Amino acid sequence: MQQRELGRSGLKISNLMLGGNVFGWTADESASFRILDAYTDAGGNFIDTADVYSRWAPGHHGGESETVLGKWFARSGKRSLIVIATKVGMDMGDGKKGLKPAYIRQAVEDSLRRLQTDHIDLYQSHSDDAETPIADVLGAYQQLIEAGKVRAIGASNYTAARLTEALRISAEQGLPRYESLQPLYNLVERENYENTLEPVVVKEKLGVIPYFSLAAGFLTGKYRNPQDVKGKARAGVVGKYMNPRGLEVLRMLDEVSARLQSNPARVALAWLMARPSITAPIASATSVHQLEDLLESTKLRLDNGSIETLNRASAGKIAA
């Protein structure tokens, strides 16, 4: 698996990031351990999680994914091989949310305990907090970096304007800067990233680690009509792609896949990896078999014709 540098952080990461949202949720502990072992055996070293994963599941309170990862670190002894990324800021209940400095200091200790580690490689603001001054947020992160608890920081779900403002404040006040952005970006969700965020990350040389790289499974090709998503957990998300443009993207994925003797999921991930501004797309797996299929995308090189075919099919309202 190829390695790339994440922004200017000095972190060397694999070009496919393993999504940890499923750990302790749709992948139980033993399945999660098998997936993690297989990922690292294949040369992967970059894992994404968040304190809030998987609070949405019945009976869960958040922290389930981090807890599974912590147990795996303790069992496998592989913590030193992993660049672990987690996030803070989403609602954890009981008033635990946002990016106020006191809460960041509390939340990082909770994440460190669950992860059974003494540092987090990439600590990300999971969502912008308009009520807390950006300088205060960055100042809290600076304290964590100076204490050795965090190596680098990143932003997720930020607008271009707020990301630009945060980078300006970092430069003017000598505070740590966001070295990465985790946006929503894939073949059927291009407009916001390419029109507004991409110019910022390219100019500022930020790493980009997009989530929903396979559009909640739509780009795997397993959902072709409304009946396919009926009763599924992500029916609402996938259903919005069931339109002429989405189906045309699937048709072109099928065409390119057939020509390259591959499949839609691998091609969709390879399309992301081929975009110069993308450092590593995030993809999740609930079994080793699923993971092996995703790993094949790191070996797939799309020719210019295939990229242009997919670009045309998925263009939407992309700025020229």
Catalytic residue among 39, 53, 103, 158: 53
Q: How confident is the model at residue 320 (pLDDT cuts 50, 70, 90)?
A: very low
Domain residue limits, the chain: 3-214+268-303
Mean of the per-residue pLDDT values of the chain: 95
Tens of pLDDT, residue by residue over 69-121, are: 999 999 999 999 999 999 999 999 999 999 999 999 999 999 999 999 999 99
Domain 3-214+268-303 has CATH 3.30.1060.10: no
Decide: pTM greater than 0.75. yes
CA dist., res. 9 & res. 29, Å (int): 31
Tens of pLDDT, residue by residue over 255-312, are: 999 999 999 999 999 999 999 999 999 999 999 999 999 999 999 999 999 999 999 9
User: Helix 101-115 crosses helix 64-76 at what angle (to 10 degrees)?
Assistant: 40
Active site residue 53: yes
DSSP 186: B
pLDDT at 13: 98
Q: How confident is the model at residue 3 (pLDDT cuts 50, 70, 90)?
A: very high
pLDDT at 319: 54
